[in-house]
Amino acid sequence: MRKSPQIESSFATRLLIWFDQHGRKELPWQTNINPYRVWVSEVMLQQTQVKTAIPYYERFLNTFPTLEALAAANEDQVLHRWTGLGYYARGRNLLKAAKQIMIRHEGKVPLTINELCNLPGIGRSTAGAIVAICTNQYAVILDGNVKRILTRYLAIGGWPGNSGIMNILWKEAEALTPRNRVADYTQAIMDLGATLCRRTKPKCHVCPLNTDCQALLSDTIDLYPEKKPKKKLPVRETCFLVITDNNGQIMLEKRPPSGLWGGLWSFPETTWQNIELSLRVLSVKPLSTRALKSFRHTFSHFHLEITPIHIQTQANKVNVKIPNINWYRLEDTPAIGLTRPVTRILENLR
């Protein structure tokens, strides 16, 4: 149900009063604000909590301090700085967008919703955050924090990922967003979701919206937002060929640009039945073969059961001339993008 203009104004006013007193104002992307820095932060925060994102953001900006520096980089350099953060398509899209901005927008991040949404990796909410924070002009966001706040405040049932529920939430977000202090409001509502209106153990007793939050008044906070309908994740199996030679080198393979772990470096993959065939294709003659402990890596849509097969070979008998295959010193951390299972295995081998 649509709130009255008075309530809409009260919502923003209370939120801004709270933000002035308690909001976060010293995050790395809140200093030296410019569209590039804000854009990078908003992309990182799409699937990552602030606490986790901060060190990655600082390392990324240290390596690529400007849009020009990012646009001049290659994919390996970008994914190396993204390693461990997950959802690697975000890093690839940042690089693609940076190159497009240099060509199509004269090296300046555009500051309209439509132009931003035409860039890879930027959706409606991310574009709204960039415009609001950088221009202080009216723009609307609907990230995970805002969805949680609005479903509770207005007692909106249904899974927010449903298109019908999403449309309702966008309309409410548009109505509640003020025309003044938009930048502060945008940060305030994200802060409220991150610090008070949390997914678990919300601090309703100190929330500035607790006097008319419909979920709180009906003692149903735990019911909002409704969770995505569960379905059992399938389990897939794979073998990683962890090939090392007697010179302390390890073989890595660059994955295709699209698909699972796109553009990252991993171990050659195979099945139990095809290990010997895969080694012949790689021109590797094993001196020893040993299965390491299997482990599970979970994606959003399936579990991957990984069995590393440690294969030792002689350096002087290795002559791989296969595209996207390279050898790296095991004792070093190569400046390339690595999958999390690979970094885990490398740490154990070292």
CA 161 to chain centre: 17
Peptide bond into 225 cis (omega under 30): yes
Q: Which pLDDT score is estimated for 228?
A: 87
134-185 pLDDT, tens per residue? 999 999 999 999 999 999 999 999 999 999 999 999 999 999 999 999 999 9
The answer to whether residue 58 is catalytic is: no
Q: Which pLDDT score is estimated for 321?
A: 62
Q: Which pLDDT score is estimated for 259?
A: 84
Residue in the block written with tokens 């709130």? 3
92-147 pLDDT, tens per residue? 999 999 999 999 999 999 999 999 999 999 999 999 999 999 999 999 999 999 99
- pTM comes to 0.85
Residues 6 or more apart whose CB falls under 8 angstroms from that of 262 comprise 88, 89, 92, 255, 256
CA 98 to chain centre: 17
Rounded to an integer, what distance in angstroms lies between the CA atom of residue 205 and that of residue 18? 13
Pairing of strands 303-313, 288-291: antiparallel
* ∠ CA 327-331-336, rounded to 5°: 55
How close are the terminal C-alpha atoms of the chain, in Å? Answer: 59
Nearest partner of 153 among 263, 264, 261, 10, judged by Cα: 10
Domains by residue range for the chain, with CATH: 5-223 (1.10.340.30), 235-349 (3.90.79.10)
In which residue ranges of the chain is pLDDT below 50? 1-2
Q: Which pLDDT score is estimated for 1?
A: 46
Catalytic residue among 42, 75, 172, 253: 42
Q: Which pLDDT score is estimated for 317?
A: 52
Nearest partner of 244 among 330, 306, 316, judged by Cα: 330
